[in-house]
Every structure is written in structure tokens, then in C-alpha cells.
Chains A and B, each alone.
Chain A
């Protein structure tokens, strides 16, 4: 049995969850390994993946087995439909589902809740997102290999973007450079559209048509998904040479990043790490962004992205938390020129 499915079924038994009905692609991909078409943005809940504990089987909404792992047979697929009642019928026909009482779901719509309650009247819905957040969190050696490959790819995309930084190029054109490099590396899925934004009062995530000018600092924050695994990093570049104060800020930022990374040890409380004055982002990294709760503490086998901002210099690395301390997975230099 694939490792992620085994881990999920075991955790379902511990939590008393009889079935999972999942609408979120990251959750479905973790449990099944299936690669389906990537769409940006949020999508309303729809039952795209069902796991029944009593049978140990995964069922996926797909019109084909292309992209579906070989251990999931054609009898475990059900077709897409524009008719919610057809979808309900497909789900209701899944072996073992009629007998379940506790179902984890990772989102809901009022219409889908009415439909699910109709086909499974004796069941209770519980928070499957919170459940899977915990199951997805510890990274196996195989998971780490995936993340390392993605980090390497993200670094190559960012290096090509940094090489294009020059007076006159627009923020949007730099974003295009990041994604062009991604495609040349055989990757078509960004983790998010790269934020290649001129530094200002606070870091932006939405590019505009501003042209870079000599003396600007430009933030380069990019991420890619490789076989679903996320790699990302943030660096800052001075446009056409750094001034003395910019250079000094870069050194302070590098120090702050080093300190923030060093603090990523088992037992450290997430909220306290996020409250450090220089830290602007601390998030889990896995099959895409993985959320961490403020009141939780870091554990061995966590992988996190930590980002700091010092005097408009923005830097971020991916860190593997281990018993013996943090292992930085990002290798790109942090200098701004």
C-alpha cells in the first residue's frame, strides 16, 4: 500500500473517521498520488476524492486513468458531471460508503451538504481539512526528495529572473521570465505567480507594470510545484548596483534570516516564531502550501518556509526541521547584487 494512503487510513482509525470526502486537490493528491489538471485559485467543494476506511480504497472523479497511479483501478473512478444529482449517485454507489457514520470533509457548500445529507442520512460531517493537515505534516524521506527537487527548480527559475533585473524591465515582464524558465525546465505549475515587485512600504504579492529604475530594490519571490511538491524562495536584488545603505540592509537581512532559520527547532511555538520582528511569513511546505496553526509547535520532519524583511530587503528559505536542528534546503546566495 502506498505510504501516504497507509498513513491516512491508520490516522482515520485513530480519529474514528470512517470515510473522507475531499474536494481539495492537495488533499486528494496526498492520499492518492493522482495528478489532475491544475487550476489556480479556490474552487467550491465537490466530491473529487473519496476514501473508505473499511475497504481501504480510494475513489477518484476522473474520466480517465491517465495521471492516476496504477494501484487505483478503473473501477475506482467515477465520471465528472454537471448534474449534482448524478455526482451524488456516483458517490452513493461507492462500496462501503453507505455504512459509514463519521465523514471527514475538507469544505462544504450549502447545496452539497443538502445532497450529501440526502444520500448519507445517518452520517456526521467532521473537519477533514484539520485531520489531513496533521497527516500531511511529517515529511518522509521520499517527500523530502520531492521538496528538494522543487527547491532546486525554483532556485533555477529565480536565478534566471534575477539575471534579467535591469533598469527599464517591468515587474510583469520579470514574472514572465520566471515562468518561461519554469517551462524550459519541464515544469508548468507555479506554486503561485511570482511576486517580482519593487520594494516599497510593505512587500506586495501582485505585480504591476512598473518599470525598474536604477537604485530600486526588487523583491523576487517565486515558487514551483514539481510532481506536486513545492519549492520556493525569496531573494532581493538591487537594480544596477547597490548603494552603501542597501548593502548594509542586505547584511542585516541575511543575519536576520540566519537567526530565524536557526530558531526553527522542535518545540518552538509557531506564533512566537511569527511574532519575531523581522519575520513576515512562516508556513508549511509540502504538496503546495501547508498551513501551520499559531498555537502549534514545530516538530521533527516539518518542512517550513521562513521569510524575513529588514529595511526593504526580503529573504526567504525552505527549512527542514530535525531533532538536531534546522537543515536549510535553499542553497542560493542571499546577496543583493
Chain B
């Protein structure tokens, strides 16, 4: 049965408020027209839904949105009219365009010209025929503009993330019951996908990960960075008793991502080493959550995490981060602890409505490690944890 929720959610209000935020952000950057080809950006700007599909199909059946700084209703081109929000007037909803061919690209360039003949045009991504069709028209990059709008989630956006995560966690509870020696990751995926749709998920957006981890980095696959290799594609290899499995998956509810991460020990109770690793993960998360409030920088958070694990390896993966944002993108700003470095992290200052997926990693080379993910929203005074991870295996 589909999960039911108590929290209020008004999708029309959410779309209205997001559009207003985006228009305000465009004005701040002097962008008159914003042409969007990226699916997650279009979902944010308009609420348009398209079916989840492999990138090859998604590219050729991509929607397009044109947002103008006058605050008018956006124009949308889509192959899937059933995914258009109710408030989109018929004269703003157009048939899908083939932007890999000149004819479609020229049609779009002409519509852009009609809507905004001379002003500043920003485009999130270009196909090569569209780039040719826009020759002579300078285009700017809207990453900053989009990032600013998306950074602070409205209460409706937060509720979507809460629901996405609740569906994800409920499906996981069923999957976890299947885990025993001999089970294959691919079987877990099948069960997981069946359950998320039964529970009301809108889509699945990433090949679910159930990766059996080595005891040491050297025993695992070749690592470019020298750090733990994660994630790897799921295989049909059966899990062995005692395997340390890192779980990572994201499902979507009304355009919003979720992010479930945990560490499962196959067929046996975690031993003292694994319980200690879990406790250290939780100590890092607890300290970071305790530190989260408006005005705190990303660098403050990495410092807190490093202090908890002082004298040990940095408690997150070198090629990822301590935390990333989540919204209509599965990973979006704010980023905390990336290879952009400490100076960059100093400039990232939390504000109410930011959402962070904390993903510390505890790794004791030779004894494998513990990784999970907790989702946290920044409130006016502190933090609210949106995820609800289960630790009973590791307690007692």
C-alpha cells in the first residue's frame, strides 16, 4: 500500500514559490531569459515531470523550459504532455523538440528570440545544433543563478524530501529482511524497485548500490586516488557470510531526491570492531548536526568532523565530500568538504532551508569500514534530521 503522510504538501504552491525564487535570482544576476535543457533544472523551474529513463533516451526526448525575468508563465516543450503541471496554459505548452537536429534547434532559437530579442540569455546546457542555431547570441552560464534559487528549500520542498526518504526507508526495511549469505545485489534491486513503486515513489534515478567492501583498500579494486573505491555497479555475485555491504540509493518523489546509505553485515551480528566503527560514524554525524545552524560555514563542519576523528584518516571519501545538498538534483549545493578545498568551504555559509546529506565514512584499513547517510535540514535556529536510520543491528 502507498505510504500516507501527515505533513501538509501543496504542489501548486511549491511550483509558484520556486518560480518566484528563480525569477528573483535571475534579476539579481541581470539574466532576462533562462533557457533550460537540464531535466532537474526544468523540474525545479516548472514542475514538469518526465518519465525516468536511461540517458540515451532522456537526451533525445528531453524537455525544454524558457523562463523570463518578467515573471510570466514559463514556456515548456515536452514529449510527455501528461507530465505538465495543471496551471501551464495550453499556449505555453509545446510539442517536444529534437534538439540534436537543426530543425528543432532553429525552432527553439526562434522562440527564444521572440520571447527575449536582445536581453541577456543564460543557457544551462547546449546541444551542438542548438549552439549553432544561437550563433551570434551571447549566452551566459546560469549555474550561480540556479544554485542561489535552489539553495533554500520551501516547506513544501522539505516535505517532498521527507516523503521521498520515508518511502526509501520503508522499501529498505523489506529489502534488508532478504539479506543473507548467497543473496545477490541484483535480487535486492528487484525487490527494492518493486517496493518503492508500491509505496508511491515517482521514479528511481540511480542504479541501486549494494557493494561488498574489501577489508583493505589494497584488497579492493585499483584506486586512482588511493582511497576506498565506492560506488561500484551492482553485480549478480552472491554475498558471502560476514560481507560488509555499503548500501546507497536514491528514489524520487514529486521531483525530489532521497538518499539512503547504510552498512549491512551479511548473515551475522556486527562484531566489536564494526560496532565501534558505527558508533564513530554516529559521533561524527551527531557532532556535525549539533554544529549546524544558520551562519556556520562548510569549513566549520569539516573541522568538527575532523576533530571527532582526530588522529585518524579524514572521515569522508577523498573523491566525494562530507556532505552534499539534495533537491531536484541528487547532489547539488551546498557541498561540504570537496576537493574545491578549505578556502572554498569557508565561503559556503549555511542559511535556513538548506538541506545536507551527511555521508561520513569511517575506514580502518584492514578492517573495512562503516558508511551511512543522514539527511539534515537547516532550520532558523539549528538542524532537523529528515532521515530515520535504523541502528538496532549495531546496538546491544
Contacts and interface: CB of A to CB of B under 8 A. Distances in A.
Interface stretch (B12-20, B33-41, B85-93): B33-41
B54 A195 contact: no
Nearest to B317: A63
Given A81-B339, A206-B80, A183 B51 contact: no
B233 A67 contact: yes
A65 B60 contact: no
Contact of A186 (B126, B184, B338): B184
B339 A192 contact: no
Nearest to A174: B197
Interface in B84-105: 98, 100-101
A288 interface: yes
Interface string A97-129: 000000001111111001000000000011111
A65 B222 contact: yes
A106 B128 contact: yes
A26 interface: yes
Nearest to B222: A65
Contacts of A245: none
Contacts of A288: 54-57
Interface in A30-78: 35-45, 62-67, 74, 77-78
Interface stretch (A7-15, A289-297, A308-316, A325-333): A289-297
Contacts of B195: 176
A287 interface: yes
B125 A109 contact: yes
B204 A40 contact: yes
Given A82-B339, A186-B186, A77 B224 contact: yes
Contact of A40 (B52, B60, B62, B227): B52
Contacts of A230: 54, 56
Nearest to B144: A111
B321 A289 contact: no
B140 interface: yes
Interface stretch (B205-213, B271-279, B281-289, B354-362): B205-213
A163 interface: no
A83 interface: yes
Given A25-B55, A189-B54, A293 B189 contact: no
Given A45-B125, A172-B200, A209-B200, A86 B339 contact: yes
A37 B338 contact: no
Contacts of B192: 183
B339 A83 contact: yes
B125 A37 contact: no
A193 interface: yes
B129 A127 contact: yes
B188 interface: yes
Contacts of B132: 127
Contacts of A225: 54
Interface string B179-223: 000001111111111111110100111111100000000000111
Contact of A179 (B38, B49, B184, B190): B190
B190 A180 contact: yes
B249 to A, nearest CB: 11
A108 B131 contact: yes
B53 A64 contact: no
A183 B184 CA distance: 9
Contacts, number: 239
B141 interface: yes
A52 B155 CA distance: 49
Contacts of B229: 63-64, 66
Contacts of B198: 172-173, 176
A127 to B, nearest CB: 4
B178 to A, nearest CB: 11
B3 to A, nearest CB: 12
Contacts of A83: 338-341
A262 interface: no
Given A37-B206, A183-B190, A79 B224 contact: yes
A183 B187 contact: yes
B224 A289 contact: no
B338 A82 contact: yes
Contacts of A77: 224
Given A129-B127, A180-B190, A183-B190, A42 B232 contact: no
B53 A41 contact: yes
Contacts of B125: 42, 44-45, 107-109
A60 B261 CA distance: 27
A107 B126 CA distance: 6
Contacts of A133: 100
Contacts of A209: 2, 200
B124 A109 contact: yes
A204 B82 contact: yes
A287 to B, nearest CB: 7
Interface in A1-31: 24-26
B77 interface: no
B128 A188 contact: no
A63 B54 contact: no
A206 B190 contact: no
A88 interface: no
A246 interface: no
Nearest to A62: B224
B394 to A, nearest CB: 27
A330 B22 CA distance: 47
A44 B124 contact: yes
A250 interface: no
Contacts of B304: none
Contact of B51 (A65, A80, A105, A205): A205
A130 interface: yes
A172 B200 CA distance: 8
A192 B206 contact: no
Contacts of B72: none
Contacts of B206: 37-40
A63 B190 contact: no
B190 A184 contact: yes
Given A106-B128, A192-B51, A291-B98, 13 more contacts: A36-B233, A39-B205, A41-B205, A42-B39, A67-B232, A83-B338, A107-B59, A109-B125, A129-B128, A182-B193, A183-B194, A186-B186, A190-B54
What 5 A-B pairs are tightest by C-beta distance, nearest first?
A183-B190, A288-B56, A192-B53, A176-B197, A180-B194
21 contacts: A39-B207, A40-B54, A41-B39, A41-B50, A42-B39, A44-B125, A63-B227, A77-B224, A82-B335, A127-B132, A172-B200, A173-B198, A176-B194, A183-B186, A190-B53, A191-B54, A209-B2, A225-B54, A289-B57, A289-B61, A291-B98
